[in-house]
Chains A and B, each alone.
Chain A
């Protein structure tokens, strides 16, 4: 009988342990879907729930706080998701929090993420409808990707033709194969460097000059900056103007004189007219000039004869010496020297 009791006790322990594990299992699962703890209902409205089903998790800032209880179709463009959320969250979630549908990993189950907006607002009430925000939708993502792929295909085709053209171009390959080109380019670069250095130096100089000019140094500076010079220039210009006016008057007088002379010439008054118009006079003058020439020649002969005459030889020698003395003194005297020699 005692053995039987012990066996029954063992059996009881065995059955209880089995049931215990069953209860633990059911409780753990139930706890995950908030079946046993106190909870309250929150709602959110979406246009598309993207495959969300009752039982999917609800998270608040990433923490599991409940599950989706039911999804109702309100109308053809609006679905309402009812969420069973842990009662404790009633004191935490504010009514301006956002609900969005996301997924647990890239391919995982759908979840509802409730995220706080950060703005002050009253706490949620039971059954309140939260603002919905569209999360990243894989379908949309794939559609965008497919569009991108199309664009990429077009770009790739164009790139292909470009590369083909580059490959077929002999000129380009010649340039690429040219070995002297890089050297020349390098030299050019060096030259460019030198040129720019010089340009920089030049610019510095220019700057210095400009600053000098600004400060009134040098003639350009004086021109640009000296006000007294400007006044002088003004005066000079005024004088030049005056001179010009005088010259005008002079020219007018000259004009009158010339006019008179011209008139005289044309009207046959005076010597000039006679000289220009009278042809007989020309022959007369010619014969006179001939006579003068002959006379001069004879006079020269007479003078030579006189020089060699003993009576006048002394005078001429004295005259000669005096000339040599005075030759060094002035240019004017030198010019006068031949006159007595001619006589």
Chain B
């Protein structure tokens, strides 16, 4: 139901999102910027997501450490646990998990919000009153999610590493300076920068897909639920697809 099953539906969806993306870029750089609405959206999308993302990040760091530990002990490289967890979190787990949680929380809220505005014809009313609904509703949200997700990813990485430090210390004893020395000694720019860059794309994908789904929601309350649901599903899949493309690009550019 959520996924377009027919090929024509799929192509239509893809084309629609492409046009929508083009329209976003066209509108985004045209003056009369909705600064205060953008900041409000940043607050809602970024700041309000922090507790959820912080919690998941912490748990991920802790659990990943404790799950990796037995295997590393088997190979006698238990001391490399911080390095390994650090690389896993910074390169992959941090951006992807954060983006998925972000898609779940923000994608559904944007989809539902814009969908219900569409259903209740508020968007049409806005257009009549002379406000550009695309600029006011879509550009601010997409820009906010694009810029907020990388910051969320960074904070999530920090919290995850802290969780990992606790995880390391549950079974063994490692001082904090040793832990962070080990983590940072094994990280390079090639680990951090691609992850940081790809989280912009994750954020943009979540914003644009959710807005598209909400903006072109079907009539009726059923349509609102549908647009909320499909925003999350398609955003999540797109995150993985972008991740796949990103790892290929990193390999081609020989950054890892």
User: Considering residues B39, B47, B152, B187, which has the most beta carbons from chain A within 10 angstroms of its beta carbon?
Assistant: B47
Query: Provided the pairs A4-B40, A18-B150 are in contact, do residues A25 and B47 lie with their beta carbons within 8 angstroms?
Result: no
Q: Are B154 and A29 closer than 8 Å at their CB atoms?
A: no
Is A26 interfacial (CB 8 A cutoff)?
A: yes
Q: Are B39 and A8 closer than 8 Å at their CB atoms?
A: yes
Residues of chain B contacted by A10 (CB below 8 angstroms): 43, 47
A-B pair count, CB < 8 Å, reads: 65
Q: How far is the CA of A51 from the CA of B103 in the complex (A)?
A: 43
Q: How far is the CA of A7 from the CA of B152 in the complex (A)?
A: 17
Contact of B155 (CB < 8 Å), options: A7, A17, A26:
A17
Q: Are A14 and B50 closer than 8 Å at their CB atoms?
A: yes
Q: Are A11 and B42 closer than 8 Å at their CB atoms?
A: yes
Query: Provided the pairs A7-B40, A11-B42 are in contact, do residues A22 and B50 lie with their beta carbons within 8 angstroms?
Result: no
Is A268 interfacial (CB 8 A cutoff)?
A: no
Which residue of B has the minimal Cβ distance to A15? B151
Q: Are A18 and B47 closer than 8 Å at their CB atoms?
A: no
Residues of chain A contacted by B192 (CB below 8 angstroms): 22, 25-26, 29
Q: Are A29 and B189 closer than 8 Å at their CB atoms?
A: yes
Q: How far is the CA of A7 from the CA of B43 in the complex (A)?
A: 7
Residues of chain A contacted by B47 (CB below 8 angstroms): 7, 10-11, 14
As a 0/1 sequence over residues 1 to 35 of chain A, the CB contacts with chain B under 8 angstroms (1 = contact) are: 00010011011001101110110011011101100
Q: Are B188 and A14 closer than 8 Å at their CB atoms?
A: no
Is A55 interfacial (CB 8 A cutoff)?
A: yes
Which residue of B has the minimal Cβ distance to A35? B189
Chain A contact surface mostly: helix
Q: Are A8 and B155 closer than 8 Å at their CB atoms?
A: no
Q: How far is the CA of A17 from the CA of B156 in the complex (A)?
A: 11
CB distance from A16 to the nearest CB of B (A): 9
Q: Are A25 and B187 closer than 8 Å at their CB atoms?
A: yes
Q: Are B155 and A32 closer than 8 Å at their CB atoms?
A: no
CB distance from A106 to the nearest CB of B (A): 11
Q: Are A18 and B155 closer than 8 Å at their CB atoms?
A: yes
Q: How far is the CA of A55 from the CA of B191 in the complex (A)?
A: 13
Residues of chain A contacted by B176 (CB below 8 angstroms): none
Q: Are A55 and B46 closer than 8 Å at their CB atoms?
A: no
Contact of B154 (CB < 8 Å), options: A21, A28, A55:
A21
Q: How far is the CA of A207 from the CA of B46 in the complex (A)?
A: 108
User: Considering residues B36, B180, B187, which has the most beta carbons from chain A within 10 angstroms of its beta carbon?
Assistant: B187
CB distance from B167 to the nearest CB of A (A): 19
Contact of B187 (CB < 8 Å), options: A11, A14, A18, A29:
A29
Q: Are B185 and A21 closer than 8 Å at their CB atoms?
A: no
Residues of chain A contacted by B187 (CB below 8 angstroms): 25, 28-29
As a 0/1 sequence over residues 77 to 104 of chain A, the CB contacts with chain B under 8 angstroms (1 = contact) are: 0000000000000000000000000000
Q: How far is the CA of A8 from the CA of B46 in the complex (A)?
A: 11
Q: Are A32 and B150 closer than 8 Å at their CB atoms?
A: no
Q: How far is the CA of A60 from the CA of B43 in the complex (A)?
A: 49
Q: Are A25 and B39 closer than 8 Å at their CB atoms?
A: no
Q: How far is the CA of A33 from the CA of B189 in the complex (A)?
A: 10
Q: Are B188 and A55 closer than 8 Å at their CB atoms?
A: yes
Q: How far is the CA of A30 from the CA of B193 in the complex (A)?
A: 12
CB distance from B81 to the nearest CB of A (A): 15
Q: Are B157 and A21 closer than 8 Å at their CB atoms?
A: yes
Q: How far is the CA of A29 from the CA of B193 in the complex (A)?
A: 11
Tell me the B20-67 residues at the A interface (CB within 8 Å): 36, 39-40, 42-43, 46-47, 50
Q: Are B42 and A25 closer than 8 Å at their CB atoms?
A: no
Tell me the A177-235 residues at the B interface (CB within 8 Å): none
CB distance from A30 to the nearest CB of B (A): 8
CB distance from A11 to the nearest CB of B (A): 4
Question: Would you mind naming 11 contact pairs between A and B with Cβ atoms under 8 Å apart?
Answer: A7-B39, A14-B46, A14-B155, A17-B151, A18-B154, A19-B151, A21-B158, A25-B154, A25-B157, A25-B184, A28-B180
State the 6 A-B residue pairs at the shortest beta-carbon distance, nearest first: A18-B151, A28-B184, A18-B154, A11-B43, A21-B154, A21-B158
Interface residues, chain B, with chain A CB atoms under 8 Å away: 36, 39-40, 42-43, 46-47, 50, 90, 148, 150-155, 157-158, 180, 184-185, 187-189, 191-192, 196
Contacts A8-B39, A8-B43, A29-B189 given; 16 further ones with Cβ under 8 A? A7-B39, A10-B43, A11-B39, A11-B46, A14-B46, A15-B46, A18-B153, A19-B154, A22-B150, A22-B154, A22-B192, A25-B157, A26-B192, A29-B188, A29-B191, A33-B188
